Chains A and B, each alone.
Chain A
Amino acid sequence: MYLFANATIYIGLAIAIYSLLIMTLGISTKNQKLVNSGKGGALALFICAGLAMLSLFYLLGTSQFKYEYVRDYTSSELPVIYKLTALWAGNAGSLLLWTFFLTLYMIMIIYSRKMKGNPMIPYIISILMANAIFFFFILGFVAKPFLLLDQIPTEGKGLNPMLQNPGMIIHPVTLYLGYVGLSVPFAFAMAALIMKNMDDFWIKMTRRWTIIAWLFLSLGNIFGGQWAYVELGWGGYWAWDPVENASFMPWLTATAFLHSVMIQERKNMLKVWNISLIIISYALTLFGTFLVRSGVLTSVHAFANSNLGLYFLIFMGFAVIASLYVLMSRYNLIKRSAGEFTSFVSKESSFLINNLLLVGAAFAVFWGTIFPLVSEAVRGTKVTVGTPFFNKVEAPILLSMMFVMAVCPLLAWQRSTIKNLKKNFLLPAIVAVIAMILMVVLGMTKAWAVIGYGVIALLLVTHFLEFYRGVKARRKMTKENPMLALYHLMVKNRRRYGGYLVHLGIACITMGIIGSQNYDAQTMKTIELGKSIEINNYRINYDKLDQKKEGINDIVYAQVTVFRDGKRLGTYEPEKVFYGHWDQPSSEVAILSSFKEDLYIVLSAWEDDGRATFIVKVNPMMSWLWIGSFMIVIGSLFAVWNGRYQNVTPKYTGVRREVI
């Protein structure tokens, strides 16, 4: 097994090098046979990565502790599902997963129906192959997943209990799919530049792939937040930790690209900017990995400090310099077709402002993340840049972004006249102002919250109007019933209405963030058995303290009965779990969720006399965060789903005959 598993890595590396060389040779000599050989190499590479994954799954599943990785992240009592998902608990395994996804994307591109006969394929695969060489090299020589121990231990160290949660099964997978996914648009962009073929096709395909990567990146962050909320017993979902920032930055720049690319599609402008955004997004995925795996920054996401980060830094430097070289060498070609704007007030301008704010937000996150290093380098003093900094700096930028998101749909392409603005914005503005006045009258005094909810009200009305007017216009022509008209309107223009659904999802998430950040209430109390804790309109009766055993874990739990406004809501059991293979206990919180708020109960500590300490929180509007997240997924899928009309991506006809 040892030989087989390691062979998958080293043979994979050899195949990757061969494929890149043969593909490059095939491209330069226009020899289809060589290119086909390279494509075969990509398939073989996928099989190698797949077999390596299966090998590690097998070793983890059968608890073969003679392997360092299995010993470090599993134990024999661990449920099988967590034994298997321990594959991405450490550096080597998660990089193997990354590599597998990379080869998977390669195969998807080669065998995609849409890409059939496309001369870009050899170029795209070559670029991805260069990435694959890097990852196979890392797996073969730096972070080895199949390392044998000198002595066979009887038991493994076990998996960090924090990672034993359904959210943690899916969070890294989606995040890596997003990270690796961003290398696909990068490869498309580079291929288009190298081929000097900046037509409509590549940008449409790139956009499609970027949405897919963006969706996975969003999902990764959402699942991460959800996991933190239910598992860490802290009641929060985002801590602005360097690892979180590392995934948020490419998300912001990819979002910027998804918007600015519309200007390129419509007006053939911003080509250099769009390619720059793709390069930046790709580079940020590598930079994030460098940051969190090099140990230069402290992160709660406990990746072992190693020299792995340095390799990522070198590779990132190489990728950025090479891509900038390609961009500069084609600069005159893509600069040539620059167009014009008709007016200052137009959808085009709003997209530029949108890009300014998104890239500005990404820069602020970047700056805050690296500032401890900057400060130490410049004046020798370490500083901590934590939540208060990011909240204060990001809040105004992202709120402005929400405002642009609210007004953009109703701005006309080319030029918005005063008449047009009045017609489109009078009603939404009135509704937003009335909403804000109502909030103040009802007792909301925090300015940021009132402004934030006002902007959300504006966004909801402008988006409703977009749907309403679309349906109305359609019904005028087709006389369909409203629901059918809405359905046809949306499926005929998937990207646009999918995008609007995503906007509505972001609005819901913002509602949740503003509510939970500004109006949360919490208390920490030590009470005797039979006594209660009161918070807002809740009463929590402490009924019982007991312990039980689950496998090798000991669980101490409290039984509490919760009342709201005197009405009994039920009995709940917040727990503290002590693990057989882990020193640190973890909290299993009790959460009572509703559209209005979450009641969050943590059993913090207890005494021999039965007294127990609880942390109780009321987090308003938390459900909206998850509802919004769901809408983002629905909207993104709706936008990329082809449907029966096949109208999203044109079949490639090609400008000249090349190897394919």
Chain B
Amino acid sequence: MKNKFMVSLLVLLVAFQWPFVRTEARQIDYKSPEFRAVASQFACTCGCGQDHFECDPNTCNLTKEFKKDLVGMMNKGMNKDQIRDYYVKIYGEEILTAPEKSGFSLAAWILPFAALAAAAVGIYFIIRKWVRQKGETEHSAEDVDNGDEVEGEILSSIIDEERKKYL
């Protein structure tokens, strides 16, 4: 019975230690692209204004622990979305470095482009209006403009002469 208990205890210990054993086995460079993809999603709240990828673990204890936790989760096989969901559930959206692309926060992403598109449409109609106005004035002045070609040549030669004076 005692042996059985010891074996069970050993199995349990191994089972619980397994993630930590793997953590030790796999070193993740805090500056690797892999870690950046995960850590840059989260804002550090130490007052540095940086995310958990940028914040230096040697000067900030908060990010030191946070980074360790992230590595632990990465070693458990969690991807960046799962890790994000995990933290958002605990701390809310505030922990993210950018608003979520759903719910009210979607407005943060959409509004700039919606405003740009609306303004672009407005500008299109304004230019169209101005071009039409010009067209109408040109149309009425067309007869006058169909003047003598020789006159035009004389005019351009005078302009050329004048330009030379300023060069």
Please list the residues of chain A having a beta carbon within 8 angstroms of any beta carbon in chain B. 233-234, 236, 239, 241, 298-300, 339-344, 349, 352-353, 356-357, 359-360, 363-364, 367-368, 371, 375, 378-379, 381-389, 392-393, 397, 474, 477-478, 488, 492, 522-525, 584-585, 604-605, 613, 615, 617
Contact = CB atoms under 8 A, between A and B. Distances in A.
A340 B134 contact: yes
B49 A239 contact: yes
Given A356-B119, A379-B104, A523 B96 contact: no
A617 B29 CA distance: 13
Interface in B86-128: 92-99, 104-105, 108-109, 111-113, 115-116, 119-120, 123, 126-128
B133 interface: yes
Given A342-B131, A367-B108, A375 B99 contact: yes
Interface stretch (B10-18, B51-59, B143-151): B51-59
B43 interface: yes
Nearest to B126: A352
A364 to B, nearest CB: 4
A477 B162 CA distance: 12
Contact of A360 (B99, B112, B133): B112
Given A352-B127, A360-B115, A234 B99 contact: no
B164 interface: yes
Contacts of A340: 130-131, 133-134, 137
Contacts of B97: 384, 386-389
Q: Which of A384, A388, A524 has the most CB of B within 10 A?
A: A384
A522 B119 CA distance: 41
B40 interface: yes
Given A385-B99, A388-B40, A363 B112 contact: yes
A264 B110 CA distance: 32
Nearest to B111: A367
B48 interface: yes
A374 B48 CA distance: 23
A266 B138 CA distance: 18
Contacts of A371: 99, 108
A389 B99 contact: yes
Contacts of A349: 127
Given A385-B99, A385-B108, A604-B56, 17 more contacts: A340-B134, A344-B127, A360-B119, A367-B112, A375-B105, A378-B104, A381-B93, A381-B94, A382-B92, A388-B98, A389-B97, A389-B108, A392-B98, A392-B109, A397-B112, A524-B29, A615-B31
Given A356-B116, A383-B96, A524 B30 contact: yes
Interface of B: 29-32, 40-41, 43, 47-51, 54, 56, 58-59, 92-99, 104-105, 108-109, 111-113, 115-116, 119-120, 123, 126-128, 130-131, 133-134, 137, 163-164, 166-167
Contacts of A604: 56, 58
A367 B49 CA distance: 19
6 contacts: A239-B49, A298-B47, A299-B49, A343-B131, A352-B123, A384-B97
A585 B60 CA distance: 12
Centre residue among A340, A360, A488 by max chain B CB count within 10 A: A340
B116 A397 contact: yes
A578 B16 CA distance: 42
Contact of B167 (A378, A488, A613): A488
A589 to B, nearest CB: 12
Contact of A605 (B32, B58, B115, B119): B58
Nearest to B54: A234
Contacts of B93: 381-383
Interface centre among B29, B31, B59 (most CB of A within 10 A): B31
B131 A300 contact: no
Contacts of A344: 127-128, 131
B4 to A, nearest CB: 44
Contacts of B95: 384
Given A342-B134, A360-B112, A386 B123 contact: no
Nearest to A343: B131
A584 B31 contact: no
A340 B129 CA distance: 8
A256 to B, nearest CB: 12
B162 to A, nearest CB: 12
Contact of A375 (B31, B59, B104, B112): B104
Contacts of A343: 131
Contact of B48 (A300, A375, A477): A300
From B94, B127, B130, B163, residue with most partner A Cβ within 10 Å: B130
A559 to B, nearest CB: 19
Nearest to A613: B58
Contacts of B41: 388
Contacts of B113: 393
A375 B109 CA distance: 13
A301 B146 CA distance: 66
B38 to A, nearest CB: 13
Given A340-B131, A605-B58, A353 B123 contact: yes
A356 to B, nearest CB: 5
Contacts of B59: 584-585
Given A300-B48, A383-B99, A615-B31, A341 B58 contact: no
A575 to B, nearest CB: 14
User: Closest 8 interchain pairs by CB?
Assistant: A300-B49, A364-B112, A605-B58, A340-B134, A386-B97, A341-B130, A389-B98, A522-B31
Contact of B108 (A368, A379, A477, A613): A368
A356 B167 contact: no
Contacts of A363: 112, 115-116
Residue from A234, A239, A241, A524 with most neighbouring chain B CB atoms (10 Å): A524
Which residue, of A236, A389, A585, A615, has the highest number of chain B Cβ atoms within 10 A? A389
Nearest to A243: B49
A615 B56 contact: yes
Contacts of A241: 49
A236 B40 CA distance: 14
B167 A474 contact: yes
Nearest to B32: A523
A378 B133 CA distance: 45
B71 to A, nearest CB: 12
Nearest to B94: A382
Contacts of B99: 371, 375, 383-385, 389
Contacts of B167: 474, 477-478, 488, 492
B98 A385 contact: yes
A397 B109 CA distance: 13
A388 B104 CA distance: 18
A531 B120 CA distance: 58
Contacts of B164: 477
A502 to B, nearest CB: 24
Contacts of B109: 389, 392-393
B123 A356 contact: yes
A357 B50 CA distance: 28
A341 B116 contact: no
- Among B51, B54, B123, B127, the most chain A Cβ lie within 10 Å of the Cβ of B127
A477 B163 CA distance: 10
Contacts of B47: 298, 300
Nearest to B95: A384
A386 B30 CA distance: 20
Given A522-B31, A613-B58, A383 B105 contact: yes
Nearest to B58: A605
